[in-house]
Amino acid sequence: MITVDPVIIALLAIVAVPFVGAIIMGLDRRLTARMQGRVGPPLLQPIYDVLKLLRKEPIVVNRVQVVYACLHLAFMILCVVLLALGQDMLMVLFVLAFSTIALILGGMSVRSPYSRIGSQREIMQMLSYEPILILMMVGIYLINGSFMARDILVSGKPLLLSLPLLFPAFLLVMTIKLQKSPFDFATSHHGHQEIVKGITLEYSGPFLAILEIAHWYETFLLFFIATMFWATSIPVGLLIAAVCFFGVILLDNIVARLTWPWMLRFMWTAGLGLAATNILWLYI
């Protein structure tokens, strides 16, 4: 096997990942448009958007929000780097949590009721999905005997076969993290959110671009984790990611937004129940 310098892998991940993320987002917009009977924007529209945002005048409400925007992006990148280096996956989750909390605090740092409500709801989202993600890593450990991402293939068997109930739970998490209906209450891709743009409302220009780029990384990260469920064969893994992608967008277009108390209840019963059941039989 060819060994590549980890620094090169990391740099490659930092540069290539946002493009993949942007293309996934572009595909999302196309597919959504088709489902709604529209033609939709060009595939690279997310990149065009961000390039335009970056050239705009920096407008802020205060300086604090800039700090958090940068932290959000930096730690999102760090997640991808750690994963690319095959590091401990629990740590990756904690770094991801850091990134999300930076986003939340950025939304709360401004005196805007909409942004604050968005942040509060984002906290509730974290509370709903964080335990499931950690349980997923526990499941992976129980199969592979290691928390390291580089040991993902150790068991030689696709994870999906051992974690069949954790996979739908992860799909729910993915729907929340991608800000899709019925869970898009902190912020939404669509312009019909009752709290306007929620958590990202007070960001504009280059700082909004930073958040968008971070979202590319995050999108990639989520689909990458989806492929890990069948890491033994890359085509099957990609197929699984594609099915997830289609499922999430379909769900986004056919269901209405619900409320966060409903989400918390649902995720702590159905989501956590699925995950815990799956973990339980791995222990026995």
Partner 1 sequence: MQMYIILPLLLIFGPLLFGVLVMLAPGWRFKTPLIVLSALVMIAGAVLLALQGSFALSIDARIMKALPLIELLIIAAIIYIGFRIKKWLVIGLGALQLAIGLASEMLPHAAHEHVSALNVDLLSMIMVLIISVIGSLITVYAIGYMKKHEAHGPEQMRSTGLFFLFLIGFLGMMNGLVLSNDLKLLAIFWEATTLCSFMLIGHDRTTAAGESAYRALWINTLGGAALMLASLLGAAGGGPESLDGLVAGGALLPLALICLAAFTKSAQLPFQSWLLGAMVAPTPVSALLHSSTMVKAGVYLIIRLAPGLGDTRLGQVVAITGAFTFALASAMAVSQSNGKKVLAYSTIANLGLIITCAAIHTPLAYAAAILLTCFHAISKALLFLCMGTIEQSIGSRDIEAMEGLMRKMPVTTVIAIIGMVSMMLPPFGMLIGKWMALEAVIMSPLVLFLLIMGSALTVVFWSKWIGRIQTVAYHPSYKVEDVPFSMFAAKGILLSGVVVATVTVVPFFKRIIGPMAVAAFSGVEVAPRSWDLMKSVDSFIEWPLFAMLGFVVLVLLLTIKGINKSHVREPFLCGENLEGARTTFEFRSLMDKGESARIRSYYLNPLFGEAHLTAWANPVAMALIFVMFGVIGK
Interface with partner 1 by CB under 8 A: which residues? 10, 57-64, 66-67, 70-71, 74-75, 77-78, 81-82, 85, 87-88, 90-91, 94-95, 97-98, 101, 104-105, 107-117, 119-120, 123-124, 126-127, 130-131, 134-135, 138, 141-142, 145-148, 196, 201-202, 264, 276, 279-280, 283
Smallest separation (angstroms) from partner 1 to the CB of 218: 16
How crowded is residue 269: how many other Cβ atoms within 10 Å of its Cβ? 10
Give residues with Cβ within 8 angstroms of 94, minimum separation 6: none
Whose structure tokens read 């989202």?
125
Comparing CB distances to partner 1, the nearer of 157 and 265 is: 265
Comparing CB distances to partner 1, the nearer of 73 and 249 is: 73
Comparing CB distances to partner 1, the nearer of 25 and 140 is: 140
Give the Å distances, CA to CA, from 160 to 90, 232, 246. Answer: 19, 11, 18
Comparing CB distances to partner 1, the nearer of 210 and 225 is: 210
Smallest separation (angstroms) from partner 1 to the CB of 90: 6
Q: Tell me the CB-side half-sphere exposure of residue 155, using CA atoms within 13 A.
A: 23
Smallest separation (angstroms) from partner 1 to the CB of 209: 14
Smallest separation (angstroms) from partner 1 to the CB of 166: 14
Q: Is 261 helix (H, G, I), strand (E, B) or coil?
A: helix
Which H/E stretch holds residue 185? none
Give the Å distances, CA to CA, from 236 to 12, 72, 160, 233. Answer: 24, 32, 11, 6
